């Protein structure tokens, strides 16, 4: 049995869709149930940011998670496959008409992606104040909580509707299949077989 942590929402649905095609079985979570067991797999329905935690601790052998979340956690996990789902980027959001003022002595950035933002400024040897938020990040520059934001941009609509412009991109992200290191070595054959089947589905999709 392989245990796979899936992030709640669309990525879980799209991932299960790939499994349906790969195994010719129906994989659907029942109503509020958080575990789905079928065809030798046990899927866990967890919060996006919690996927790497389940995999790191070995509570799940595998997980599906955006690269942005993985980078933020800095866990030592194996990246098995790009599922080519949930494509987005982590980028700056700036007040319309403003640019990122790199000459400013200190920039204040509001973000959910603290570590990614911090690393960006460290690489440029720039001083930064990071304000950690958990959602509605686009609001921060509008009420002077921060000079700018670092956030996920998919269509860019959220920034646009809130008077922000998409600034420089820090990283591109998409959902990846990840593995716990011990599980990967202990269950290598079954994990490899799964990876090949999913890869084949990605090729025809």
The strand pairing partners of 110, in sequence order, are: 131, 149
Contacts to ligand PRP from residues 121-180, by CB under 6 A: 135, 137, 151-158
Q: Is 49 in the site for ligand PRP (CB under 6 A)?
A: no
Q: Identify which of residues 2 and 131 has a Cβ nearer to ligand PRP in the complex.
A: 131
Least distance (Å) between residue 199 CB and ligand PRP: 27
Least distance (Å) between residue 120 CB and ligand PRP: 17
Q: How many residues bind ligand PRP (CB under 6 A)?
A: 10
Q: Measure the CA–CA gap between 36 and 114, rounded to whole angstroms.
A: 33
Q: Identify which of residues 6 and 137 has a Cβ nearer to ligand PRP in the complex.
A: 137
**Is 185 exposed, middle or buried, given 0-12, 13-18 or 19+ CB atoms closer than 10 A?**
exposed
Kindly report the length of the chain: 205
Q: What are phi and psi of 133, to 5 degrees?
A: -125, 165
Least distance (Å) between residue 151 CB and ligand PRP: 5
Q: Identify which of residues 97 and 135 has a Cβ nearer to ligand PRP in the complex.
A: 135
Least distance (Å) between residue 162 CB and ligand PRP: 9
Least distance (Å) between residue 136 CB and ligand PRP: 7
Least distance (Å) between residue 86 CB and ligand PRP: 9
Q: Measure the CA–CA gap between 161 and 79, rounded to whole angstroms.
A: 35
Helix (H) / strand (E) containing 197: helix 188-204
Q: Identify which of residues 140 and 179 has a Cβ nearer to ligand PRP in the complex.
A: 140
> How far out from the chain centre does Cα 177 lie?
11
Q: Identify which of residues 61 and 147 has a Cβ nearer to ligand PRP in the complex.
A: 147
Q: Identify which of residues 137 and 179 has a Cβ nearer to ligand PRP in the complex.
A: 137
DSSP 3-39: EEEEETTHHHHHHHHHHHHHHTS-----TT-SEEEET
The strand pairing partners of 169, in sequence order, are: 91
The strand pairing partners of 90, in sequence order, are: 152, 171
- Binding interface with ligand PRP (CB under 6 A): 135, 137, 151-158
């Amino acid at each position: 049995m392989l245990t796979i942590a899936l992030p709640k929402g669309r990525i879980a649905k799209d991932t299960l869709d790939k499994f349906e095609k790969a195994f010719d079985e129906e994989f659907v979570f029942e109503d509020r149930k958080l575990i789905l067991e079928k065809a030798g797999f046990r899927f866990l329905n967890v919060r996006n940011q919690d996927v790497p935690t389940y995999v790191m601790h070995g509570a799940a052998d595998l997980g599906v998670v955006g690269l942005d979340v993985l980078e933020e956690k800095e866990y030592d996990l194996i990246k098995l496959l790009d599922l080519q789902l949930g494509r987005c980027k982590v980028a700056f959001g700036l007040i319309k008409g403003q640019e990122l003022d790199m000459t400013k002595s200190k920039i204040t950035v509001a973000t959910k992606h603290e570590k990614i933002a911090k690393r960006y400024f460290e690489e440029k040897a720039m001083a930064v104040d990071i304000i950690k938020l958990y959602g509605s990040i686009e609001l921060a520059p509008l009420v002077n909580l921060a000079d700018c934001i670092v956030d996920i941009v998919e269509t860019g609509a959220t920034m646009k509707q809130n008077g922000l412009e998409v600034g420089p991109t820090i990283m591109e992200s998409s959902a990846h299949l990840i593995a716990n290191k011990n599980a990967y070595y202990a269950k290598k054959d079954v994990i490899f077989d799964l990876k090949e089947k999913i890869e084949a589905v990605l090729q025809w999709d």
